[in-house]
Amino acid sequence: MIAAAIVTADWYMTLAAVLFLIGMAGLLLRNNALVMFMSVELMLNAVNLTFVAAARAHGDIGGQMAVLFVLVVAAAEVAVGLAIIVSIFRIRRTASVDDLSELSG
């Protein structure tokens, strides 16, 4: 039976949903800024997979265009995010968000 199965867009959608949930869990549960950051990248890649699978299913170019833009924006966000983390690390010598408690109330 397995040999007869055809990989449809649904398979990719499911994989993307799983990736998105893993990324979300990582973001909410881990407290190292770098790991949280990786989790976000995982979520964005889940988005890309959904877009590409849907574009293939529809035979439409729009989804693939969207992926290119998401990739570029994600790369820009990496630069911004790492800059912020480096800046924090210089002062605190740690990348853990648990110690961030200057502001509250």
Binding site residues, another protein, CB under 8 A: 9, 13, 16, 20, 23, 27, 33, 36-37, 40, 43-44, 46-47, 50-51, 53-55, 57-58, 60, 62-63, 65-66, 69-70, 73, 76-77, 80-81, 83-85, 87-88, 90-92, 97, 100, 102-105
Closer CB to another protein, 7 or 103, in the complex: 103
> In this structure, what token pair is assigned to residue 37?
């950051």
Residues whose CB is less than 8 angstroms from the CB of residue 63 and which lie 6 or more positions away in sequence, other chains included: 51, 52, 54, 55
Cβ 44 to another protein shortest distance, Å: 6
